[in-house]
């Protein structure tokens, strides 16, 4: 396997430079596939860079493309297809609100609008203090629990109504303040 170029320290890296940690992660993920199928590691490699930088920049996409021998547009297509990949910095708490048909029929669009109104942000925006980002999501696969949202791509919250949304925002805001002290 060809060694991947990397920077000396994670803290000093930019989205256009692989840290040693990221390079090792890439090598580990690429090794899971035969050489002709190494492009299959694209999601894992993007996830490594997002964990390190908080989002996937064009420079990060270029690094992944070079490491996997893929056209940069093919990597960009993956980045833009999955809403788990942030294409710009996001708030500490990212809300992906499902607005697909089952959720829409049960108040998904209202939930999105309520969060935007409560947090004084546009859809896709981040609060001025950097705490919350609110964005639409494609189907989250929990139609029976509609409307649903995903917090930080990890925690599903179901049966959203105004009171539950307000409680969620309040709880996360308090958690953010507690963590800051």
Instruction: Domain count for the chain, please give it.
Output: 2
Burial class (CB in 10 A: 0-12, 13-18, 19+), 111: buried
Query: Smallest Cα–Cα separation from 10: which of 26, 24, 21?
Result: 21
Query: Smallest Cα–Cα separation from 79: which of 52, 46, 48?
Result: 46
pTM of the predicted structure, to 2 decimals: 0.77
Q: Domain check: are 97 and 173 in the same one?
A: yes
Domain membership of residue 53 (yes or no) is yes
Q: Domain check: are 66 and 145 in the same one?
A: no
Residues 94-103: what's their mean pLDDT?
95
Residue with tokens 């050489």: 35
Q: 79 or 15: whose pLDDT is higher?
A: 79
Q: Domain check: are 158 and 99 in the same one?
A: yes
The reported pLDDT for the residue numbered 112 is 97
The Cα 13–Cα 85 span in angstroms is 19
pLDDT 10s digits, 9-43: 333 455 567 899 999 999 999 999 999 999 999 99
Classify 171 in phi/psi space as left (phi over 0), alpha (psi -120 to 50) or beta: alpha
CATH number of the structural domain spanning residue 166: 3.40.30.10
């Amino acid at each position: 396997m060809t060694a991947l170029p990397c920077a000396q320290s994670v803290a000093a890296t930019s989205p256009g430079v692989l840290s040693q940690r990221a390079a090792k992660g890439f090598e580990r993920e690429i090794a899971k596939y035969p050489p002709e199928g190494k492009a299959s590691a694209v999601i894992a490699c993007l996830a490594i860079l997002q964990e390190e930088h908080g989002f996937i920049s064009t420079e990060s996409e270029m690094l992944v493309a070079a490491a996997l021998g893929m056209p940069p547009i093919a990597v960009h297509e993956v980045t833009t297809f999955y809403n788990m990949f942030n294409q710009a910095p996001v708030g500490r708490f990212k809300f992906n609100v499902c607005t697909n048909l089952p959720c829409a029929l049960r108040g998904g669009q209202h939930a999105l609008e309520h969060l935007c109104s409560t947090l004084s942000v546009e859809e896709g925006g981040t609060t001025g203090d950097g705490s919350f980002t609110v964005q639409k999501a494609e189907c989250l696969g929990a139609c029976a629990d509609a409307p649903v949202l995903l917090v930080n791509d990890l925690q599903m919250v179901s049966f959203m109504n105004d009171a539950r949304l307000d409680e969620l925002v309040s709880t996360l805001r308090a958690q953010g303040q507690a963590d800051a002290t």
